[in-house]
């Protein structure tokens, strides 16, 4: 058995785990300034400086109506289609959850109830790309989960404000308040409750390195979905895979940015060599911005791994724990049963990462940088708290009370023990 890298990245993927010192310092300063008494004023100053926006950050009904008038009926139809699919999947996930109660020993009852988080802030990127579907993934899922207050924000594009497609989608999916403000200032505004909004209990959604670092620093005071890193794709392919489709799918994710890893794991050398040859050719055919990003991503972060067996392929894949994992191989159910670490799985040639990213129904806010080894992506479960409770009858006190008192004293916690003693004395 052997694992061979036909193309090996020189990058240290562990460096994705934390922000660099410059980013951390910038974000720390910005958050400190916006936590002061004049925080709202500072947020407006950053909006003008970074996004050239001087307008009211709180979006009005009139602005939403104007945005709706600017977009085509076909665009609206596609947004509605994606919204329906994401909603249905989120509903199915919610229905799979359940409350419970069990009698552990005579008279000792324990259970849990499900309660949605009260308020959530959804960040929707809108800089280099207009991430329309991020609005669907975050706002829709929170709405289905039962979140009472949903605030959304997105970077304005100069004085025009939020991209009209994003703004229409935010409103359509159910955002209660919308802020025309992005970056660290947008995250701070939702967290601190600027401009008349309710301070949020949780921040969700993808963003650039400054947004990710802001969420990291704010975590604890608010919850977060995850600290997102550069997007990733891994493809497991065997001799039955179409090399052209494999190459196209790798390039499809590499266009995201300069540091977006694309990994191929295969047991077929011939396929691997075809893909290595074809990817640069496909990148060359892209528009300039996408070409520049994909060239750097593939050159510096792309890897092609040749394995002897499918068990080795699983081993390599689980170590990567890729955000997106495509399977273009025989016996799809075998891979579903044996793979453990990934953000979202795409089984068979018929599906691709872009389907999940845009409209097929699963969520595209997913773990990166190996985080899939211990958590999944955004779902209704992220917005729902599992809250435990217990109740006892008096007769249960005889054992529970005495055992609690003894264990408390073993730990040196006399006051704890006495809370049990008083009940034993009263009830028995």
Going from N- to C-terminal start, the domains of the chain cover: 3-16+230-376, 49-224, 393-427
What is the percentage of the chain residues whose pLDDT exceeds 70? 98
pLDDT score recorded for residue 2: 84
| Residue 319 to residue 231: CA distance in whole angstroms | 16
Q: What is the pLDDT of residues 48-64, one digit of tens each?
A: 999 999 999 999 999 99
CATH number of 49-224: 3.40.50.1980
Catalytic annotation, pick one of 33, 232, 323, 326 = 323
Residue 11, pLDDT score: 76
pTM equals 0.92
> Catalytic residue at 324?
yes
CA 85 – CA 249 distance, rounded (Å)? 22
| pLDDT interval class at 374 (50, 70, 90) | very high
Res 213 pLDDT > 70? yes
Residue 20 pLDDT greater than 90, yes or no: no
The answer to whether domain 3-16+230-376 and domain 49-224 are alike in fold is yes
Which range scores top for mean pLDDT: 186-190, 259-263, 287-291? 186-190
Cα distances from 278 to residues 91, 283, 298, 347, in angstroms, run 41, 9, 12, 23
Active-site entry in 83, 131, 165, 324: 324
Residue 155 has pLDDT above 90, yes or no: yes
Reported as a pLDDT band with limits 50, 70 and 90, residue 35 is: very high
Residues in the chain: 428
For domain 3-16+230-376, which architecture applies?
3-Layer(aba) Sandwich (3.40)
Whole-number percent of the chain with pLDDT over 90: 90
């Amino acid at each position: 058995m052997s694992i061979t890298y036909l193309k090996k990245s020189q990058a240290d993927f562990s460096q994705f785990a934390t922000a660099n010192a410059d980013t951390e310092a910038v974000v720390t300063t910005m958050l400190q300034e916006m936590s002061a008494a004049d925080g709202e004023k500072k947020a407006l100053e950053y909006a003008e400086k970074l996004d050239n926006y001087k307008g009211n950050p709180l979006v009005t009904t009139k602005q939403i109506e104007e945005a709706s008038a600017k977009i085509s009926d076909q665009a609206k139809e596609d947004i509605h289609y994606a919204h329906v699919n994401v909603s249905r999947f989120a509903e199915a996930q919610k229905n799979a959850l359940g409350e419970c109660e069990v009698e552990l020993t005579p008279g000792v009852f324990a259970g849990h109830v499900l309660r949605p988080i009260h308020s959530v802030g959804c960040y929707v990127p809108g800089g280099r790309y207009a991430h329309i579907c991020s609005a669907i993934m975050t706002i829709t899922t929170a709405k289905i989960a039962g979140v009472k207050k949903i605030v959304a924000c997105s970077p304005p594009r100069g004085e025009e404000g939020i991209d009209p497609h994003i703004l229409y989608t935010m409103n359509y999916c159910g955002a209660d308040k919308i802020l025309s403000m992005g970056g660290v200032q947008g995250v701070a505004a939702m967290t601190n409750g600027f401009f008349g909004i309710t301070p949020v209990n949780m921040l969700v959604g993808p963003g650039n390195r400054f947004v990710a670092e802001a969420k990291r620093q704010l975590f604890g005071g608010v919850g977060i979905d995850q600290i997102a890193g550069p997007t990733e794709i891994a493809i497991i392919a065997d001799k039955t895979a179409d090399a052209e489709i494999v190459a196209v799918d790798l390039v499809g994710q590499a266009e995201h940015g300069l540091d977006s890893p694309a990994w191929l794991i295969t047991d077929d050398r011939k396929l691997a060599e075809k893909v290595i040859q074809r990817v640069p050719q496909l990148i060359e055919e892209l528009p300039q911005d996408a070409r520049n990003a994909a060239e750097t991503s593939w050159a510096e972060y792309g890897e092609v791994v040749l394995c002897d067996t499918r068990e080795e392929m699983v081993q390599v894949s689980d170590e990567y724990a890729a955000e997106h994992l495509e399977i273009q191989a025989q016996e799809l159910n075998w891979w579903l049963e044996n793979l453990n670490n990934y953000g979202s799985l795409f089984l068979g040639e018929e599906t691709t990462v872009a389907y999940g990213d845009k409209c097929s129904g699963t969520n595209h806010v997913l773990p990166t940088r190996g985080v899939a080894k211990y958590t999944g992506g955004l779902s209704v479960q992220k917005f729902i708290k599992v809250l435990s409770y217990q109740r006892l009858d008096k007769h249960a006190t005889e054992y529970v009370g005495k055992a609690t008192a003894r264990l408390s004293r073993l730990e040196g916690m006399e006051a704890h023990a006495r809370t049990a003693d008083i009940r034993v004395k009263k009830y028995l």
